Chains A and B, each alone.
Chain A
Amino acid sequence: MQIYLPIAEVSVNAFMLLGLGGIVGILSGMFGVGGGFLMTPLLFFIGIPPAVAVATEANQIVASSFSGVLAHVRRKTVDFRMGTVLLVGGLIGAALGVVVFNYLKSLGQVDLLVRLCYVVFLGIIGSMMFVESLRAIRKSRAGGPPPKRKKHTWIQKLPFKMRFRTSGLYISVIPPVIVGIAVGILAAIMGVGGGFIMVPAMIYLLGMPTKVVVGTSLFQIIFVTAFTTLLHATTNFTVDIALAVLLLIGGVVGAQIGTSLGTKLKAEQLRILLAMMVLAVCIKLALDLLIMPSELYSLGRAGGH
């Protein structure tokens, strides 16, 4: 069934959008990532204008994250305190990110920089997670004790300490706020929720337990993407509500399935799956930059760069 999208001004198959939303929703529930890093390129591929894809995707992530976080709240795997601290950083970062984004836009190379950002970050994080979880799986197979996480001594020494009961941590608020800011900036530039950066940052930098990480990340993503959606809707008018509704119907259902799938898999398996997916997207984007494109030319709206 074809449906005409009022803002994107293209006609697409409604069932395809539902399916895309569903797949990305499952990932969202399983890994605590918004799925934007996967969905945004997919939307480009089916012919949605990039500006509309990025803005609408932010709105869709709100829905799937909200659906996912409810399941986590019930299982008490959300650290609200940590989430709020991260959120404060996230909002500051998102606002900064929009400024950076508009500056890059004025230089006229924003597409390239966004893509390079994707390749670099996905590459680093993907390979880091892959190696780490492979090592963890090998150790648990060998029957040895689970690997102890490295204690960051300099983090312990920072002031403004706060107790995060759900995570079982007593650390300074400075590192989480900085993580939040960094993720917020990247989220605004790359048009994603930022879960794929935040999840590893929480595990490896803050030393949070994997179980809590997913729910907390989803909690923070809701607010950052809601903020981004409003920003896009009021400044660029590029949020397509019809597209969002179709994606989020698939997305929220997928997120529920994903969350229950996530509890059945072991943490290491979960991490290695996510690592592989991140690497796959990274390789695809890198190839797009390296291989000669079939169409060298592209059309843009003049004046509206």
Chain B
Amino acid sequence: MLRAILCLLLLTLPAKAEEVVLGLSQDEVAITATFDGSQILVFGAVKREKPIPAGPPLQVAVAVSGPSEPVLVRRKARRFGIWVNTDSVLIDAAPSFYKVATSAPFDTVLTDVQDLQHRVSIDRAIQSVGATFGTAAGSGGAQDFTEAVKRIRGGQDLYKILESSVIVDQQTLFRTAIDMPANLTEGDYSIRIFLTREGEVISLYETQIDVKKVGLERWLFTMSREMPLVYGLMSLAIAIFAGWGAAAAFRVVRLR
């Protein structure tokens, strides 16, 4: 067993001739009360022991992905003259946020086989292989439902492929900026950087960025989950106080 692992290591080592040294503009995204989106700067260099290999230039793909969760997709159809939800498909896992930036057109950077293996494109990031649950499952229409997830989240600026937006200098330095919209959900966002030549992945670097609520947002969120009764009573107290305050204030205004 140990020998087998060693063999594997030795086999994979030559592939690591070029490696990523990464920098991020921030290692967490803090959601504050006035949060209206953010931009992460991803930059880095390629570390190599040997001279730059000849042939097609090095390409870079940067994939930022939010936490993956199952999504229930419903479709409406006309029944008795009104539009109602009829079919549904459960998508096994779809990231809450997914953006890929590449240094050239997507097909040039990654071959289909490599995309399949590493799940880089949006289609591959959404896992609907086992879309077996739901009323429309198995009818071959599941593809429409996956398309709907892409379309709806794409419309909310949550899913996007940014082709040719990674700038690569001298096949060594690269940088790109990824916009995070205001409707982010909390969680650990993974950042994957692929170095490719002729569409083949030669190096993969993975890191995480923490997206979380801070300050008042954090406090309220935690309280609503951990002390729901206190939170509910507090909401009511604020409501009643505000109602009374406005009534009292208006009486003063009217009496004058």
**Footprint of B on A, CB under 8 Å?**
1-4, 6-7, 9-11, 47, 59-60, 62-68, 70-71, 74, 108-109, 111-112, 226, 229-230, 232-235, 237, 239, 241-242, 244-245, 248-249, 252-253, 255-256, 260, 289-293, 295-303, 305
**Footprint of A on B, CB under 8 Å?**
31-37, 69-78, 81-85, 88, 90, 144-145, 148-149, 151-153, 182-186, 213, 216-218, 220-221, 224-225, 228-229, 231-236, 238-240, 242-248, 250-251, 254
A-B contacts counted at CB < 8 A amount to 188
The 6 closest A-B pairs by CB, nearest first: A233-B232, A66-B243, A11-B182, A252-B246, A297-B148, A67-B243
Q: Is B72 touching A302 in the complex (CB atoms < 8 A)? A: yes
Q: Report the nearest B residue to A112, measured CB to CB.
A: B84
Query: How close is B162's CB to chain A, nearest CB, in angstroms?
Result: 22
Q: Is A6 touching B221 in the complex (CB atoms < 8 A)? A: yes
Q: What are 6 contact pairs spanning A and B, CB under 8 A?
A: A59-B239, A63-B240, A63-B242, A71-B247, A237-B224, A292-B78
Query: How close is B132's CB to chain A, nearest CB, in angstroms?
Result: 13
Q: Kindly list 12 other residue pairs between chains A and B, CB separation below 8 angstroms, not including A1-B34, A47-B183, A234-B232.
A: A4-B33, A6-B220, A7-B224, A63-B238, A109-B84, A229-B235, A237-B225, A256-B247, A292-B78, A295-B151, A297-B144, A299-B153
Q: Is B76 touching A293 in the complex (CB atoms < 8 A)? A: yes
Q: Is A63 touching B224 in the complex (CB atoms < 8 A)? A: no
Q: What are the residues of chain B within 8 A of A239 when measuring CB–CB?
A: 224, 231-232, 235
Q: Is A301 touching B36 in the complex (CB atoms < 8 A)? A: no
Query: How close is A230's CB to chain B, nearest CB, in angstroms?
Result: 4
Q: Which of B34, B149, B243 has the most CB of A within 10 A?
A: B243
Query: How close is A124's CB to chain B, nearest CB, in angstroms?
Result: 18
Beyond A11-B35, A295-B152, A302-B71, whether A70 also contacts B220 by CB under 8 A is: no
Q: Report the nearest B residue to A74, measured CB to CB.
A: B251
Q: What are the residues of chain B within 8 A of A293 when measuring CB–CB?
A: 76, 83
Q: Report the nearest A residue to B223, measured CB to CB.
A: A241
Q: What are the residues of chain A within 8 A of B243 when measuring CB–CB?
A: 62-68, 70, 248, 252, 255
Q: Report the nearest B residue to A64, measured CB to CB.
A: B243
Cα(A232)–Cα(B239), bound, Å? 15
Q: Is A11 touching B37 in the complex (CB atoms < 8 A)? A: yes
Cα(A234)–Cα(B246), bound, Å? 28
Q: Which of B31, B37, B85, B239 contacts A62 (CB 8 A)?
A: B239
